[in-house]
Structure 1
Amino acid sequence: MTWLDVPADSPFGLHNLPYGVFSTEGSAPRVGTRVGDLVLDLAPCAEQAGMESYAVWAQPSLNAFLAQGRPAWTAAREWVTEVLTNPARRDCVEPHLVPVADVTMHLPVEVADYVDFYASEHHASNVGRIFRPDSEPLTPNWKHLPIGYHGRSGTVVVSGTDIVRPSGQRKPPTEEVPVFGPSVRLDIEAELGFVVGGGTELGSPVSVADSDEHLFGVVLLNDWSARDLQAWEYVPLGPFLGKSFATTISPWVVTTDALRSARVPLPGQTDPAPLPYLQGEATEDGAGTAYGLDITYEVEWNGTVVSRPPYRTMYWSPAQMLAHMTVNGATLRDGDLFGSGTISGPERDQRGSFLELSWSGQEPVTLDDGSERTFLEDGDTVVLRATAPGPGGSTISLGECVGTIRPAR
């Protein structure tokens, strides 16, 4: 129990304690942790408590803290929990509490490299049926490796940032040559993003078993996608301008320590079995080192909840994605971010993209105001939310990931 006035059922209670970067009027961005509807300014609190490491929290990103590695992350969480539960620590906490309503949130990490995966079998199968109706939905390699591509880290933005409609080449089926202009099939992808810390040397892979040493936490992630630009440009290579214009993440990084109770076994990887470097090991909680996560999403389109994708149905685990990302010797850097790929479940109302929800525009989605949508129109706002089970029946909130579409420039 905390001496703070935080409801026992708060999704931002002591079982959560996410990290973010915030500022108040006239102050510089720095690291804080959220508890209830308050933000604890960590650097001055830690300095007053005599912690020499306080300086890593006085930075405008989490990168310096990420560089300290797993032992420091665990110790910091234990210290924050202790100061928030020990009445003797009130003197170094109360002066540094700020109401959430009074802060501005910033991008929590300076993103080093960004990789996006394609880890949902339901999403990949839906996309295959849409674009290759006369072929097998999954490509031959899909169940052998976590498919991914390298994205653009410089266009990762924090929740609340407006998204300008991208322009580029597209080739409508009725035209013989491509045309240039704003995308007319602008979409979302509801994903989970993984924040990485603890850099590695070139040529040193990270195993599935060791992945937790580098998986610091998670954010909600919206991989905005211009489907018409993507369809014309991605053969024979991968996504480029159809993806690189913007990726939105939520401001609070929920740590992997906070999500221990949300770990679940993967749905099953037996036919075929993964190659040895992608196989996990047994753990006491039954989830294994190649674990899934029981996280439930909510996708809201102009105030209407149109989908609730379940992350627990994902085929590939975050540990497997990280292991595959480094198996060729590629380095990890503090602040690396990788996305899970679109989260979709087996039911229609569990699809995590509008491409799937509207079945490529053939089945419009009706919103609560009576309007119909297939893809995003200027002025549309999309909100992603998610929750996970915490210890003792508690609930952990991952916050919100918000973006509004603005006209092309």
Structure 2
Amino acid sequence: MSTKDWIEKDFYKVLGVSKDAKPEEIKKAYRKLARDNHPDQNPGNPAAEQRFKDVSEANDVLSHTEKRKEYDEARRLFGGGGFRFPGSNGGGRGQGGPSMEDLFRNAGGAAGDAGLGDLFGGLFGQNGQTRTRTSTTRGPRRGSDVEGEVTVDFTDSIQGVTVPMQMVSDAACDACHGTGAKAGTVPKVCPTCEGSGMQTSAAGGVFAVTEPCRDCRGRGMVVEDPCPICHGSGRARSTRTMQVRIPAGVTDGQRIRLKGKGGAGENGGAAGDLYVVVHVSQHAIFGRKADNLTLTAPVTFNEAALGAEIEVPTLDGGPVKLRVPQGTPNGRTFRVRGKGVTKRDGGKGDLLVTVEVVVPQSLNEQAREALTSYGEAVGAGNPRARLFARTT
């Protein structure tokens, strides 16, 4: 993501949230927009694809506390045009003047890695002393973090699965290999700043101001013949499909971090990370409670009253036998050990089976007489009598 987006784009507006939105609001808004505009859901729709890229950029900044803090501060300082550089128009790129992207790039690396203190440390000297930049080369920049979503079946979430995932990230331009110069040409060291990317000028008062070089816009290099693909930026959007391993036991909504699988770095910088939000589809009969699987098993009145040995299905194999004791009430839960979810330590949770007594919908004459005889033989009386006794 170009750092000038921190100034020129309103990420809050992109996600449709307020500037004081809580992290969970931002997360919820991003998930909905990313799901609605994902390229897999909108094949051949360039508008939806661009929208997906925009919300991914916005979430990359607003979902990280430090990045969001720096973004808010940068917007407050520069977004309103309250600070101007010679030859620029407010926060944008003026004729011959440095852009916001160039300012941040030369004030300490990627905006996500350097704080605003580094920015002002490069602009103003301390105790009347001018602070200059002596490096003649741009340092390494870490690649951006990328976040995506996948939906897996319930069974796959329990057992683990590898799924293909389309990833959109910022990478070096394939045409110029990140130099920003047209193929067959190379950037030249800026003669004005001699490759430092900064200029020092008197601002009046007791201090001098160090600002990005106007000729190279703070890059230290001059591109005389820009790359026609990236227009001299050296960066481009990259879309690729990669295989992502979803570990066994993942829960619905869990966020998995894959280190070094995000956007590519610049100048030898490390790649960013890939964050995958997993959504789990519901199962027809099984549910989940922590590391245990749940199942509701119907039993007949006779089985519950007289006791029985029944069979119940498991998720990872054949059926298992379960002993239902005599006089089992409706809603009682039994535990089948080791037939649940794989735990972090390699162990397994249990299968929790809740019995549900099935009441016949219709009875023939013989069954009706048998139940009537049963009631007379048991002589249980009125089981609701205690309810009335407690109301007096």
TM-score (norm 2): 0.21
Higher relative CO (CA 8 A, sep ≥ 6), structure 1 or 2? 1
TM-score scaled by length of structure 1: 0.21
Structure exhibiting the larger radius of gyration computed from Cα positions: 2
